[in-house]
Chains A and B, each alone.
Chain A
Amino acid sequence: MKLYDQTIERITNLLNESTTVELPVRTSSWPDVSDRSMILRSEMAYELGSNQFPGIGATIITANEDLVSGDGVFLHGKDLQELKGDTPYARVAFVKVDEATLGEGEALYRTIRDLEYVRYHFYPEGFMMRVSPSKQIESVRIGRSALNRGLSFEITGNRLIEAFKKKPQVEAVQVHYVTDPDFDYKALSKLFTESEEITKTIDHILKNVIMDCNACSLQAVCDEVEGLKELHFKK
């Protein structure tokens, strides 16, 4: 399971260009709200990623312990209590999985999507994610009252790790939050697209029987990503 390893390395290099603060990893008792709960503008302190600013998010998996050695929450920029208004935002979760539990073919694809969809079932109080899969936007409305009660990235990061760890395949998770206004969000967005292309190529391989790489529209992705061709011809 090396499919995303190059992308993870590139993202890590990009994240390392900005100042990083490692936040404590510990159990959080911060409450969740119902999946039907919404934060209206009148109840909102500010928005991470908004119409004015980029808001992006991704979940990328690996089986490589060197890339994700243990759980971690990392912040690049200001924390929620320090922010004063709408701001650019990115969230990346590197998820270390047990390769033996991933399965092959359709099962592998479903597992990748299942882990990616954890964000759609993540409802910490005061932290309302809005995701447009088509526009690749992930923004977050921060509730005023939750902020007053101490909501922070340490809390949301730890809650996200807990959410991922409910999945049996997951061994470790590293969550990165970026709010640094000088960060290169465009470059990160390109790397997220690269990761999504890999997942789509896996789906394409499963659905199509084209075995002639020269006739395939996704040849470029397969040439670039180690493991995709193996996956196809093993199918």
Chain B
Amino acid sequence: MTIGMIGVESAMGNSEKASGPVILAVAGKGGVGKTSISATMVRLLTEAHPDSNILAIDADPAVGLATALGIDVETTIDDIRKDVAEGVEALGLNSAVEVRNEVRYRLFDALVEVDGFSFIAIGRPETAGCYCKVNSYLKEVISILAENFDYVVIDGEAGIEQINRRVMEKVTHMILITDGSARGTKVVRTVRDVADELVMYERIGVIVNRIPSMEMTRYLDLGDIEVLSVIPSDDNLADFDIRGENVFYLPSDSAVVEGTRTALKNFDII
């Protein structure tokens, strides 16, 4: 196991940014702090790259990233999916090109553009019915949307398969989050195995969160996954979580902000 406090030479650098967005997908077991860390990444990216276009994608049906970023969500991607798929005839759409443009038009209604970054929520997964065509257009327009940003942060559900199926097939950086539990580290290893099969990524690393003592790191079994940072339990964050506060107001020396900053530095992203 490598504790990633030391800078890691990135193969990406600025040249990669010029050719496409840096897409960070965050995954891990439920309850390990994925959403807080994703939101903190968005904050740190806006601070480090104020002139860049940054997109936060909430791919968790619970839509927790919105709260952590102080965003009100009115329309999700799944709302568009349902409206368009269920109403193609009722909406009077005559062809594939009209469906595609309807989806594209509505995507802008779902995109929340605030100072510093933009936000979009995926919402709940589809239920019964075949939405294959609309799903494929949606995935296409999300990819097109992402291409117009310099940095994209995706806060995923516990698994990674859902990111591949519902959001996009290609990410540049996979960031796995675990706590100190054996179950958390096992999920991280499993997610990495699934990601190896399903998602095209360039780099992968893990953030170990909510560690009561640094001593515990010696017991973590993370295989050969690069450890980007280790974050101790953070009372500030617990307090913010309870009050549903926006992470932009967290003190910049709080553990979660410092730990996330270290991880992004280790990936040469900030």
Contact = CB atoms under 8 A, between A and B. Distances in A.
Interface of A: 36-38, 40-42, 113, 117, 120, 130-135, 137, 200, 203
A134 B91 CA distance: 5
Contact of A120 (B92, B101, B108): B101
Contacts of B104: 130
A120 B101 CA distance: 8
Given A37-B148, A40-B148, A120-B101, A132 B113 contact: no
B265 interface: no
A178 to B, nearest CB: 20
B94 interface: yes
A114 B145 CA distance: 26
A41 B113 CA distance: 7
B98 interface: yes
Nearest to B99: A133
3 tightest Cβ-Cβ pairs between the two chains A and B = A134-B91, A41-B113, A132-B105
Contact of B148 (A38, A120, A200): A38
18 contacts: A36-B148, A38-B145, A40-B53, A42-B53, A42-B113, A113-B95, A117-B95, A130-B105, A130-B108, A131-B101, A132-B106, A133-B91, A133-B93, A134-B91, A135-B105, A137-B105, A200-B92, A203-B94
A202 B49 CA distance: 54
- Interface SS of chain B: helix, strand, loop or mixed? helix
Contact of B97 (A42, A117, A135): A117
Contact of A133 (B98, B118, B144, B145): B98
Interface string B124-152: 00000000000000000000110110000
B102 interface: yes
A135 B98 CA distance: 11
Contacts of B105: 130-132, 135, 137
A106 to B, nearest CB: 13
A132 B95 contact: no
B94 A36 contact: no
Contacts of A113: 94-95
Contacts of B113: 40-42
A132 B94 contact: no
A132 B94 CA distance: 12
B139 to A, nearest CB: 14
A101 B154 CA distance: 50
Contacts, number: 47
Contacts of B97: 117, 120
Nearest to B51: A42
Given A130-B108, A133-B93, A133-B94, 4 more contacts: A40-B148, A130-B104, A132-B102, A133-B91
Nearest to B117: A42
Contacts of A132: 101-102, 105-106
A200 B93 CA distance: 11
Contacts of A120: 97, 100-101
Interface string B59-93: 00000000000000000000000000001000111
Nearest to A43: B53
A215 B95 CA distance: 27
Contacts of A133: 91-94, 98, 101-102
A117 B99 CA distance: 12
A134 to B, nearest CB: 4
A137 B108 CA distance: 13
B105 to A, nearest CB: 4
Contacts of A130: 104-105, 108
B108 A36 contact: no
B169 to A, nearest CB: 16
A13 B108 CA distance: 35
Nearest to A41: B113
Contact of A36 (B91, B102, B147): B147
Nearest to A51: B109
Most B CB contacts (10 A, CB to CB) among A42, A117, A135, A200 go to A42
A41 B102 CA distance: 19
Contacts of A131: 101, 105
A130 B104 CA distance: 8
Contact of B144 (A36, A117, A200): A36
A20 B96 CA distance: 36
A153 B108 CA distance: 24
Interface in B195-225: none
A137 B106 CA distance: 11
A40 B91 CA distance: 26
